[in-house]
Amino acid sequence: MPALTIVAIYFILWWTVLFIVLPLGYRSQREEGEVTLGTVESAPARFRGGRVILLTTVISAAIYLAYHLASVYFGFGIGSIPNIIPSFK
């Protein structure tokens, strides 16, 4: 598999996982009881960007590794998925 394809698949996977990981552990300022002047109550109380990026990277790497093993070593690919729409030929 070409390196650019690997980077493209991982990039798309990383951004998808980011939006899954982002709300994990989220606590709003209203829930914490301390609303900073000039912000909305639903703003994060403590945003942990480093934790989000690290967790996203680890989960994305694990998913990509599973995909890579399934496609390269076991021979599964897009063509292995059964057709949902029947063929009327």
Ranges of each domain in the chain: 3-33+40-75
Angstrom distance (rounded) from CA 52 to CA 30: 21
User: In the 8-state DSSP scheme, what is residue 43?
Assistant: S
pLDDT digits (tens, 9 = 90+) for 13-26: 999 999 999 999 88
Q: What is the mean pLDDT of the chain?
A: 88
- The reported pLDDT for the residue numbered 14 is 97
pLDDT digits (tens, 9 = 90+) for 33-59: 888 899 898 888 888 889 999 999 999
pLDDT at residue 85 is higher than 80: no
Helix, strand or coil, per DSSP, at residue 44: strand
Angstrom distance (rounded) from CA 89 to CA 86: 9
Give Cβ neighbours of residue 42 (< 8 Å, ≥ 6 apart).
28, 29, 30
